[in-house]
């Protein structure tokens, strides 16, 4: 039941995100006088629709996107009949666009908008997703908060571990913290003369001081005490999130050498502010942009794994089906200490990530994506500005973006292929929480 709830939450959230994305296009288009003949969530056969005013609103069978039909998307062109299949595709697009324009409403065609208004309409969808992500991030950062370590000591490691697992065994010497007399509940005020306010400050002070003796000021039972710690230099094996050793190019386990004290912090839930929310959102946007920029490589790796066998990495790129599976696992996984509230937080985080992905992906400057239309509008505006500066009259007309239709069809086919590959991989060799 929990799995089904997770999937339903994700699907509903995804559909709402898509629906609001299209609202982001439709509202400014209508405000600028463009006739919007259709507003649809999904593709394929229509499941339900109603006409209100001049717009048909509906839901289609395949919930993998949506669209608003803006009348007169493409300019009529120059009237030249160029030979070739690509020219025919462009001319077909122009003719289909012209057929949608009602008599007497030529001024309401999208292509007649100024370049600036076209950019606003095309960016309205992606920026709606960015706004949704900001709101969801705000709920998480300012409403729920995040678990962060504090400067209060929760535990003292009794020894200097010599095993990769970090467990104490017979013969291990006492840890510097145990020798110095640090106790659980102590609040670290300063380390080696450096005042500390966060656990990050503590770890940075330990690293900066190295294996030199350090005076540690702690607050214990309302009073301050000074202790002397003699850190030890410890070389450890680097492990990944699953605890497996990380290997170098030669196949040998990587190691790291650092000063070791042997204290662990308590944690508490801390709520952030607006600035923290924006910082978190920006980190998510830049991280997603890096993933999108390496998408061909990642898709290749998924395809190779699908053909040769093996497990997908936890950070592997996924389709909507894969993310839906993860949402289902969040609802059904029996993990100690994970509450219903924690599951809701993860679902909200997934939906925020989805909206960031929709924002970044739609800004790719290729038709039929929104970014491709933005590039066309910017080119049109730049061409007119250059002509204005040169004193040319009349100014150039709307850009003939229909000429880019062959590229749009090519991009569409590639996107369908990538989606199909990822969906198959998510069904055959899925990324799982375990």
Please report, for the chain, the start and end positions of each structural domain, with discontinuous segments joined by +.
Answer: 147-270
3-state DSSP assignment of residue 178: helix
Asked if 75 and 399 touch (Cβ cutoff 8 Å), the reply is yes
Asked if 256 and 171 touch (Cβ cutoff 8 Å), the reply is no
Select the CATH number that applies to the domain covering 147-270 from these four: 2.30.42.10, 1.10.1740.10, 1.20.910.10, 3.30.1490.190.
2.30.42.10
Active-site annotation holder among 22, 99, 106, 219: 22
User: Is 226 one of the annotated active-site residues of the chain?
Assistant: no
User: Nearest CA to 419 among 328, 316, 300, 318?
Assistant: 318
Contacts of 418 (CB under 8 A, 6+ apart): 295, 299
- In sequence order, what DSSP letters do the residues of 90-143 get, joined into one string? HHHHHHHHHHTSPTT-GGG-GGGS-HHHHHHHHHHHHHHHHHHHHHHHHIIIII
The per-residue pLDDT string of the chain (434 residues; one tens digit each, 9 = 90 and over) reads: 778 888 898 889 999 999 999 999 999 999 999 999 999 998 889 999 999 999 999 999 988 789 999 999 988 866 556 667 778 888 888 888 888 899 988 899 999 999 999 999 999 999 999 999 999 999 999 998 888 899 999 999 888 876 555 567 677 788 899 999 999 999 999 999 999 999 999 999 998 998 899 999 999 988 999 999 999 888 777 666 555 667 776 667 777 778 889 888 998 888 889 998 999 999 999 999 998 898 888 889 888 888 887 778 777 888 888 888 888 888 777 766 567 777 888 899 999 999 999 999 999 999 889 999 999 999 999 998 888 888 887 888 888 888 888 888 899 899 999 999 999 988 888 877 65
């Amino acid at each position: 039941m929990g799995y089904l709830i997770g999937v339903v939450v994700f699907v509903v959230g995804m559909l709402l995100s898509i629906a609001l994305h299209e609202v982001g296009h439709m509202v400014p288009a209508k405000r600028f006088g463009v006739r919007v003949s259709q507003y649809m969530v999904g593709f394929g056969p229509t499941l339900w629709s109603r006409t209100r005013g001049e717009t048909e609103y509906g839901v289609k069978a395949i919930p993998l996107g949506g669209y608003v039909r803006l009348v007169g998307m493409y300019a009529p062109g120059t009237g030249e009949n160029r030979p070739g299949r690509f020219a025919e595709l462009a001319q077909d697009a122009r003719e289909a666009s012209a057929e949608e324009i009602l008599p007497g409403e030529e001024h309401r065609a999208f292509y007649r908008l100024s370049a600036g208004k076209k950019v606003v309409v095309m960016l309205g969808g992606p920026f709606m997703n960015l706004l949704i992500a900001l709101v969801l991030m705000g709920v998480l950062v300012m409403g729920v908060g995040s678990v962060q370590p504090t400067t209060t000591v929760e535990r003292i490691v009794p020894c200097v571990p010599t095993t990769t697992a970090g467990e104490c065994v017979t013969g291990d010497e006492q840890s510097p913290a145990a020798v110095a007399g640090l106790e659980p509940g102590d609040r670290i005020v300063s380390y080696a003369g450096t005042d500390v306010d966060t656990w990050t400050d503590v770890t940075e002070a330990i690293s900066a001081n190295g294996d030199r003796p350090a005076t540690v000021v702690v607050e214990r039972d309302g009073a301050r005490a000074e202790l002397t710690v003699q850190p030890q230099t410890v070389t450890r094996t680097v492990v990944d999130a699953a605890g497996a050793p990380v290997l170098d190019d030669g196949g040998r386990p990587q190691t790291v050498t650092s000063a070791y004290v042997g204290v662990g912090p308590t944690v508490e839930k801390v709520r952030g502010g607006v600035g923290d929310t924006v910082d978190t959102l920006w980190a998510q946007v830049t991280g997603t942009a890096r993933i999108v920029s390496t998408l061909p490589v990642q898709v290749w790796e998924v395809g190779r794994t699908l053909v040769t066998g093996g497990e997908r990495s936890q950070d592997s790129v996924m389709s909507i089906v894969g993310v839906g599976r993860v949402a289902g696992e969040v609802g059904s996984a029996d993990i100690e200490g994970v509450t219903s509230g924690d599951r809701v937080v993860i679902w909200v985080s997934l939906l925020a990530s989805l909206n960031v992905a929709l924002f970044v992906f739609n800004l790719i400057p290729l038709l039929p994506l929104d970014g491709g239309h933005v590039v066309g509008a910017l080119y049109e505006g730049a061409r007119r500005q250059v002509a204005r500066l040169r004193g040319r009259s009349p100014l150039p007309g709307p850009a003939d973006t229909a000429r880019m239709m062959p590229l749009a069809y090519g991009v569409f086919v590639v996107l369908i292929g990538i989606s199909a590959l990822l969906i198959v991989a998510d069904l055959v060799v899925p990324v799982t929480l375990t």
